Amino acid sequence: MTTPTSLPPQPLSPLDGRYRTATAPLADYLSESGLNRARVEVEVEWLIALTDRSLLGTSPLADNDKERLRGLYRDFGQEEIDWLAEKEAVTRHDVKAVEYLVRDRLTALGLDSIAELTHFACTSEDINSTAYALTVQRAVTAVWRPALVQVIEKLSELAQEHADAPMLSHTHGQPATPSTMGKELAVFAWRLERVLRGIDASEYLAKFSGATGTWSAHLAAAPDADWPTISREFIESLGIDFNPLTTQIESHDWQVDLYDRIRHAGGILHNLATDMWTYISLGYFTQIPVAGATGSSTMPHKINPIRFENAEANLELSAALLGSLSTTLVTSRLQRDLTDSTTQRNIGVALGHSLLALDNLRRGLGEVALARDVLLADLDRNWEVLAEAIQTVIRAEVVAGNSSISDPYALLKELTRGHRVAGPELAEFVNGLDIGDEAKQRLLALTPQTYTGLAEQLARG
């Protein structure tokens, strides 16, 4: 057999290939280049923080020098990416390469006098934990969260639109007390909003306390400085939270909390995807044809629910990765090991699959139409769901002294369990009941379409 020729360089992950358009915004923060840009930002801002406090015999930099320094990360681009790749090939150390980049640019800016303050008293994890806190915070708040909010907003919109659309419920897959489609969609919106509040309350923690979290080198160089306060003020000035008590690494507990919450949201979204798939299968929703799209390679009539299937699969991948992150990051041997290094490089992959799922859910929810006629026909085939209402009313009548029926549940069980009951048959049964006339009239007025309780009000909020 002839061996095929090698392909030109190709992305191995579909997130960087087929699905690049949907996931590209995350790369600004959670790619290797995004991480390096944040590392440069931390190194530069630490230089400015030290000189602003006139530490170690320095003086505050002029405002224009600060702006030129900040240009190192604000204008970070391909030139810096290539420079770092070349330097890291020699250093075999990513953070050291960043330090050398900053030193090199200080020389170019004529700021050699503060070059030795670059990476001053820092361990790599001071820079990394801060850079990860910044990039994850920005990725979640600027990219992932808005995508989740769009899905919630679409769900809420559909919940309002279909608040009054009665439908047969299916508990255990069997016909059950009717609801409305709007109320069922509102349940998902409410669940997601609750989890989102927890995500919004998340901390993004960084350490900045040296080789083993003791500020030892800091005190050796400047014993009179209040280094814990300086470090806290520096980290908080970046808009993130400070962890004062660590080993060499920041403990990553905040990441475990965050990823578990995002995974929880993903579980709810997965439930939404499978329910929407099922509603489409039942004919409750029809899919709006997209011009030029092929549903099946052999069956022209089909419109496959690919948005929800794609979302389902990507949420499962995301959950697996987020679970692995949570499990691995919570542990580090003694004062540190490097298991977290490779693990954290996959944060973007985990969030990327989640983001792709959110994109598919948003699109999918916008490409369906409710088939109210199907919902009504289904209800009309299942009058036996009124058995719950009838036996509950009989019980109330017994309590009120208006009925002598001894076991209302058994009575309705005998009538309805295991077979269909049509409207006229049920009306005849109600007419023969030993209950008060007012209660009887209420039951005779009920239909499966009207037996929805407060569903419409719940959907409208």
pLDDT per residue as tens digits for the range 63-91 = 999 999 999 999 999 999 999 999 999 99
Reply yes or no on whether the pLDDT at 280 is more than 80: yes
Quote the pLDDT of residue 186.
Answer: 98
pLDDT per residue as tens digits for the range 353-392 = 999 999 999 999 999 999 999 999 999 999 999 999 999 9
CB 147 within 8 A of CB 355: yes
Is 6 domain-assigned? no
- Name the amino acid, one letter, at 197: R
Give me the residues paired with residue 169 across strands.
176
Same domain, 387 and 439: yes
Is 295 domain-assigned? no
**Average pLDDT along the chain:** 94
- Mean pLDDT, residues 404-409: 86
Same domain, 326 and 413: no
Determine whether 264 is an active site residue.
no
Could you tell me the CATH number of the domain that includes residue 56?
1.10.275.10
pLDDT per residue as tens digits for the range 21-54 = 999 999 999 999 999 999 999 999 999 999 999 9
Q: Structure tokens of 79?
A: 């030139």
Q: Give the confidence band of 417 by pLDDT, cuts at 50, 70, 90.
A: confident
CB 308 within 8 A of CB 273: yes
Task: Report the C-alpha gap between 419 and 408 in whole angstroms.
Answer: 18
Same domain, 117 and 130: no
Quote the pLDDT of residue 95.
Answer: 97
Could you tell me the CATH number of the domain that includes residue 153?
1.20.200.10
The DSSP call for residue 434 is S
Same domain, 343 and 250: yes
Q: Give the confidence band of 303 by pLDDT, cuts at 50, 70, 90.
A: confident
* The pairing of beta strand 166-171 with beta strand 241-242: unpaired
The domain in which residue 429 lies consists of: 382-460
Using DSSP, state whether 204 is helix, strand or coil.
coil
Q: Which of 336, 352, 372 is the last residue in one of the domains?
A: 372
Is 223 domain-assigned? no
Q: How many helices (H) and strands (E) does the chain have?
A: 20, 6
Q: Structure tokens of 81?
A: 């990416």
Reply yes or no on whether the pLDDT at 102 is more than 90: yes
Task: Report the C-alpha gap between 165 and 450 in whole angstroms.
Answer: 10
Backbone angles phi, psi at 424, to 5 degrees: -60, -40
Reply yes or no on whether the pLDDT at 289 is more than 90: no
CB 329 within 8 A of CB 314: no
Out of 54, 237, 281, 296, the active site residue is: 296
Could you tell me the CATH number of the domain that includes residue 418?
1.10.40.30
pLDDT per residue as tens digits for the range 161-178 = 999 999 999 999 999 999
Quote the pLDDT of residue 291.
Answer: 63
Same domain, 212 and 323: yes
Burial degree of 21 (CB within 10 A; 0-12, 13-18, 19+) = exposed
CB 206 within 8 A of CB 236: no
Task: Report the C-alpha gap between 15 and 10 in whole angstroms.
Answer: 12
Task: Report the C-alpha gap between 262 and 382 in whole angstroms.
Answer: 39
Quote the pLDDT of residue 5.
Answer: 85
Same domain, 134 and 96: no
Task: Report the C-alpha gap between 265 and 242 in whole angstroms.
Answer: 26
Nearest to 361 by CA among 22, 60, 102, 123: 22
Q: Which of 372, 395, 427 is the last residue in one of the domains?
A: 372
Same domain, 110 and 131: no
Same domain, 154 and 191: yes
For tokens 């770092």, name the residue: 84
Task: Report the C-alpha gap between 301 and 61 in whole angstroms.
Answer: 70
Same domain, 119 and 129: no
Is 192 domain-assigned? yes
Is 229 domain-assigned? no
Quote the pLDDT of residue 7.
Answer: 85
Out of 6, 172, 297, 404, the active site residue is: 172
Is 170 domain-assigned? yes
Helix (H) or strand (E) segment spanning residue 206: strand 205-206
Q: Which of 350, 372, 394 is the last residue in one of the domains?
A: 372
Q: Give the rounded distance of the alpha carbon of 350 from its chain centre.
A: 10
Using DSSP, state whether 109 is helix, strand or coil.
coil
- Name the amino acid, one letter, at 425: E
Give me the residues paired with residue 287 across strands.
368
pLDDT per residue as tens digits for the range 140-160 = 999 999 999 999 999 999 999
Task: Report the C-alpha gap between 260 and 257 in whole angstroms.
Answer: 5
Is 231 domain-assigned? no
Task: Report the C-alpha gap between 355 and 357 in whole angstroms.
Answer: 5
Same domain, 111 and 71: yes
Same domain, 165 and 106: no
For tokens 């578990």, name the residue: 260
Number of domains in the chain: 3
For tokens 């070059």, name the residue: 115
Q: In percent, how much of the chain has pLDDT > 90? A: 88
Quote the pLDDT of residue 297.
Answer: 56
Same domain, 175 and 322: yes
Task: Report the C-alpha gap between 4 and 131 in whole angstroms.
Answer: 43
Is 2 domain-assigned? no
Determine whether 172 is an active site residue.
yes
